[in-house]
Amino acid sequence: MREKLREWQGRYVFFVGRIMEWEPRGEKLWVCLRPVRVFLHEAHLTGTEMFEEGLKLDHLWVLWDLDKKIELQLERLREIQLHGVPYKYTRLDGSVDYAIEPIKFKDVSEAHELYDQAVKNKNMEVAKMCSELIINLWEKLGCPVGTMQQSTNEVIAYHKQQLRHIAKVEKIMDTRRFRRLANQEAKRVKKKKVKASGGFG
Q: Are residues 89 and 9 in the same domain?
A: yes
Q: State the number of CA atoms in the 13 A half-sphere of 65 facing the CB.
A: 10
- Among residues 102, 125, 148, the one where a domain terminates is 102
Quote the CA–CA distance of 162 and 153 in Å, as a whole number. Answer: 14
Q: Are 41 and 50 in contact (CB under 8 A)?
A: yes
Q: Say if 201 falls within a structural domain.
A: no
95 and 136 share one domain: no
pLDDT tens digits, 129-157: 999 999 998 998 888 888 888 999 999 99
pLDDT, tens digit, 9 for 90 and up, residues 168-201: 888 887 777 667 766 776 667 667 665 555 554 4
Domain annotation covers residue 199: no
Tell me, yes or no, whether 65 lies in a domain. Answer: yes
| pLDDT tier at 75, thresholds 50, 70, 90 | confident
Regarding whether 68 and 116 lie in a shared domain, the answer is no
pTM for the model stands at 0.68
For residue 104, the model assigns a pLDDT of: 66
- Of 76, 102, 128, which marks where a domain is finished? 102
Specify the pLDDT at position 200: 45
> Does residue 110 have a pLDDT over 60?
yes
Same domain, 60 and 130: no
Same domain? 185 vs 122: yes
97 lies in the same domain as 161: no
Q: Are residues 152 and 83 in the same domain?
A: no
Residues 14 and 98 in one domain: yes
pLDDT at 147: 87
What region does 91 belong to: left with phi over 0, alpha with psi -120 to 50, or beta?
beta
45 & 116 share domain: no
Tell me which residue range forms the domain holding 190: 108-194
Based on the domain organization, do 79 and 147 belong to the same domain?
A: no
pLDDT 10s digits, 23-45: 887 777 888 999 999 999 999 99
Picking from 59, 80, 102, the residue at the C-terminal end of a domain is: 102
Whether 150 is covered by a domain: the verdict is: yes
CATH number for the domain spanning 74: value is 2.40.50
Between CA 189 and CA 197 the distance in angstroms is 12
- 33 shares a domain with 19: yes
**Is residue 83 within 8 Å of residue 12, measured between CB atoms?**
yes
Higher pLDDT, 9 or 107: 9
Split into its structural domains, the chain has a count of 2
Give the chain's mean pLDDT.
82
Percent of the chain with pLDDT over 70: 82
200 inside domain: no
Q: Are residues 75 and 112 in the same domain?
A: no
